[in-house]
Structure 1
């Protein structure tokens, strides 16, 4: 059994310290969101992305981090997280001069609302929005400003060396050995109507406040993590993935409400 767990976990040990949910986590949130889109939002999204699904779009901003273009190497790097020191709120600290996930959401939302924006710009904006909303449900993407979102907190997971950020990006998800589609069906079946109502906030300040509370509670008392830690946090992982999907849909549904159809250009 340990051998199987080791194989499942090895994939995240070398992950970039700046990434949020791993590929599986982001695909889960995108796929869940697809089930809660309004008809207007779906029409707009299909016109922008064509056959590309939200699950596929969700990982594009992380994939593009390997590009040598200055936009990806410098400008877009802060768009994946926010920093909220312990005891503070995002409203109190605000965004740094280089921007963060909240300022990026505003920027990309403005692009999607602009009827004159080229389709390529709208594709970038939509992919980034799907990704960022997912990012902000991962508690360690609301960093405390001390340890780079848990990247500087060394731990072991079932004896394998990693860091706390990677555990939350991928480790706790991938050890279940489920595909993103299996995860999606599993979580969709568990989401209750009252949760859809209660969790579908399109307000990033609500997400950040919740993630800050969770963040401060998930730092382990020991660096050696195994069954006790995964058991303790399994329900949180599920909840945050569910919220990620619902909130992507809520954000896009609000963004595209009462928007004219087919308003993008083909440039």
Structure 2
């Protein structure tokens, strides 16, 4: 019985979501597939030379899968950036300039640099490509630009359709899963950016995308209180925001890759 209880306790600990969690597998695949839909022919060819037949959608979850290997524990902080409340756009930009800690913001350029470097080995490029796809997805998940004190919403407990959850998990998994779509069905439904969106997002810097997620994050904090009972109304209020962030993540990733291999 003691052995059983130990196994159960470990299982429960492993189940608890931490701030390094990210879009669900479907969410990351949505971002990867949207990016693939918007690649230039040069980028598509260059990525195939690195990943072979592995699509961006399939590569997108490697950054979470590898958490099973202790050798990659150093990647923990790469999936998010802790940001204080109350920053305006310039304040956030100033904060990012000064913050050199390992984060999704500081590591995206590192992955780009590895991919640009002609001296990088094949294995280094595979690692960098997989992580780049994953991290750009993370960057556009609003609760990955959240507050350190509550672990990105992990310590803000809520219920989701009557089941115990937390704010981070709702945005990582439960909103997406509630739509009941495969990732390809989801992409078909939302991959319709307007001409204006494409122009605006093309001109966005990495800081701009962080700020966009941060703005959404602030709204989530303002409207979702601890112990809130979330369900149909929350989905109705936020599904368009969710879809915008997924779409934006895919276009952001495509822009980075197209610029890298132009």
TM-score under structure 1 normalisation? Answer: 0.86
Corresponding position of 1:236: 241
Q: How big is the shift at 1:143?
A: 1.6
The reply on whether 1:100 has 2:103 as its aligned counterpart is yes
The correspondence of residues 1-267 of structure 1 with structure 2, limited to 5 A, is 14=15, 16-17=17-18, 18-69=20-71, 72-73=72-73, 75-88=74-87, 89-94=91-96, 96=99, 98-188=101-191, 190-201=192-203, 203-219=205-221, 220-221=224-225, 223-257=228-262
Which string of whole-angstrom CA distances, capped at 9 and with x for unpartnered residues, describes residues 24-74 of structure 1?
0000000000011111111110000000000001100000011021xx11x
Q: How many positions carry a matched residue from both structures?
A: 241
Q: CA RMSD in A?
A: 1.7
2:70 aligned counterpart, secondary structure? coil
> After TM superposition, what 4+ stretches of structure 1 lie above 6 angstroms from structure 2?
none
* 8 Å contact kept, 2:115–2:129: yes
CA deviation map 1:196-222 (0-9, x unaligned):
222335621001111111101113146
Distance verdict in 2 for CA 1:242–1:15, change over 3 Å? farther
- Conserved 8 A contact 1:202-1:254: no
Per-residue CA deviations over 1:77-116 (Å, capped at 9, x if unaligned) read 1111111111234432236554111221121111101111
**8 Å CA contact 2:159, 2:230 repeated in 1:** yes
How far the C-alpha of 1:191 sits from its partner, in A, is 2.3
Aligned-partner Cα distance in 2 for 1:63–1:201:
32
Instruction: Verify the 8 A CA contact 1:15 1:166 in the aligned structure 2.
Output: no
Which sections of structure 1, spanning at least 5 residues, go unmatched? 1-12, 258-267
Counterpart contact for 1:111–1:121, Cα < 8 Å:
yes
Give the TM-score normalised by the residue count of structure 2: 0.87
> Could you list the per-position Cα deviations for residues 160-199 of structure 1 after superposition, in whole angstroms to 9, with x for gaps in the alignment?
10110010011001011110010011112x3222222223
Once the two structures are overlaid, the 10-residue window that deviates more, 178-187 or 82-91, is: 82-91
